[in-house]
A = this chain, B = another copy of it.
Amino acid sequence: MKKAGLWKKPVDFMLAEAKNAFCIAAQFSSGLKQKMLRDASREIVKQSSFLIHENQKDIRFAQKEGLTDAIIDRLTLTQDRIRDMARGVEEVSKLPDPIGCVLAKWKRPNGLMISKVSVPLGVILIIYESRPNVTVECAALCIKSGNAVILRGGREAFHSNQALIRVFKKVLARHRAPLGFVNIVPTTDRHAVDYLLHRNQDIQLVIPRGGESLIRKVAHISKIPVIKHFQGICHVYVDKKADLKKAVAIAHNAKLQRPGVCNAMETLLVHRDIASRFLPAIGNRLRRDGCEIRGDQTTLKYLPWARLAKSGDFGHEFLDKILAVKVVQTLEDALQHIRTYGSAHTDAIVTEDHRTAKIFCGRVDSSSVMVNASTRFSDGFQYGFGAEIGISTDKIHARGPMGLEGLTSYKYIVEGSGQVRI
């Protein structure tokens, strides 16, 4: 922060442009925003050769740097992927406008009419890792919600992201919208990010998307409110009154449908009364599909081939085909375990007992609680939001899967006829 680099001038310029653009964009009609997004969707497809050309620069850089094939794959833009991105923008264009909604309206005895109306937040900074489709998604959601956005993608995707934003700016210009509505940090210098994270006068919200270390770093440095989740340590608790067929299907799906994501199950808790029937059933299915099991002593009685769990395995985010398993004595034990090791992301119970489900839902203090459903459903699209800008395990502002509504605030409009306070 002491000596500012060459990046400072363009970054300050970007901040001023974004702030200015917000004042105008906050007033955009639903129709204009929809038209711009539809136009952006078409323009992305139209510019696909340009996008692929710029993307090649990133790929060559990644190859030179010796990045893994997995990263290079995530980075690569193809005609298909570009069409998918464009379709995503088209979908966002069709969502209902989250701005200007009258959230509540009431009349006071003195005749004042009070309305609570949704408004955009202002300037939003989004910091994320390599995939260029995130750039397009975030830009589209911010346009839809009238927020000016500053994007900061991974260094590996620098040229691709710049190119994508150029496409958006072209569309903005065509509709005479301020170009500062959508911005990308014009440098890969890390100091520029630290600088931005201190600009709480200019930026209203930061959303980091990526691995835990990125998120922790952002949360640690930022002077601006950060909406985030650090980890997804999701539990499935199979109650003594569970339908075991459902339980096997849910546990298998929660662990293996996509093990590398934040809403995958990391620990399975099993009530002792059904352990002897349930554990062999789920254990063998998971094993067959290549999942390693790390169980407590009791689990090993039923799954002798499993590994003995170390204490660090509980509360660990494997993001892999590895599952910690524990047999619990009571519902209370399960709740205690989740309270100790959970990350307030998503936890599930499988039970046919309505009362037990209710206690579980009340006492698990997580952003999403599932009853007889896979933790994998904790997702903005699955909830029907039509979009997802992130998942929050915070208690402040947005919580759980965060769609367009999470990108809004509100104001009170009070209409009177000359009332004064007595």
- Chain A contact residues, CB within 8 Å of chain B: 23, 26-27, 106, 108, 112, 114, 119, 121-122, 204-205, 225, 227, 243, 245-246, 249-250, 252-254, 257, 339, 357, 361-363, 365-374, 376-378, 382-384, 394-397, 399-401, 409-421
* A112 cross-chain contacts in B, Cβ below 8 A: 373, 377, 382
Q: Give how many copies assemble into the complex.
A: 2
- How far, in whole Å, are A421 and B227 apart by their CA atoms in the complex? 26
| A400–B412 CB distance below 8 A | yes
Q: Is the CB of B412 within 8 A of A368?
A: yes
- In the assembled complex, the CB of A330 is this many whole angstroms from the nearest CB of chain B, namely 16
Contact A396 B246 (CB under 8 A): no
CB of B108 within 8 A of CB of A413, answer no
Given A225-B396, A409-B399, A414-B370, the answer on whether A365 and B23 have CB atoms closer than 8 Å is yes
CA distance A11 to B340 in the complex (A): 21
Q: Within 8 Å CB of A245, what residues of B?
A: 418
Q: Closest CB of chain B to A121's CB: distance in Å?
A: 5
**Complex alpha-carbon distance, A361 and B100, angstroms:** 11
Once the chains are docked, how many angstroms separate the CA of A204 from the CA of B356?
A: 28
Q: How far, in whole Å, are A367 and B420 apart by their CA atoms in the complex?
A: 19
Chain A contact surface mostly = mixed
Q: Which of B363, B367, B396 contacts A204 (CB 8 A)?
A: B396
* Contact yes or no, A384 B420, CB < 8 A: no
Docked pose: A106 CA to B403 CA in angstroms: 16
CB distance from A89 to the nearest CB of B (A): 23
Q: CB-CB < 8 A to A400: which residues of B?
A: 410-412
